Amino acid sequence: MTNYRLDRRFVLPAVGINVIVAGVAAALAFFLSSVTALAWIFGVLAVAALLNAARVFARPPVVARTDASALRVGGPLTVKPVDVQWLDVEDVTIDRGRLFVDRGNGEVLGVPLAYVGGRATELLRDIYDRLNAANGYRRFDPS
């Protein structure tokens, strides 16, 4: 199984939003310190937002996953996760920075390759290799 994580250019805004939420919650906790229960709630929210920011920065969410049987595309901060079995794939095309996977039943799954950033070519090679393996194709060996 190979995981492809969200590119840093999409992770950093998510981290920034979490830090802003933590700052606002901490300020509210400070200003509402006379109301002990609310101060604790906003203090916990501030800590939780900072911890979430650190988690997302340290390990960005997986947006594509390939294994021998299927391709899974999507996840937190991107699109709804979709599983596609390799034998259900009719065609794979690339157009204007998007990967299109035709499932054969009129459904075409489109995913921006920008989500995986610099690993886009690696993802495409992995998809084509796994499709070939699933359909019994192999590279031509002239020897």
The per-residue pLDDT for 7 is 92
The β-bridge relationship of strands 82-85 and 70-73 is: antiparallel
What is the CA 26 to chain-centroid distance, rounded? 29
Give the pLDDT of residue 139: 67
Within 32-117, residue ranges assigned H as helices are 36-58
Longest dimension (CA), the chain: 82
Give yes or no for a contact between 56 and 75, defined as CB atoms under 8 angstroms apart.
Answer: no
Whole-Å CA distances, 105 to 73, 83, 101, 108: 18, 14, 11, 8
| Confidence at 143, pLDDT banded by 50, 70, 90 | low
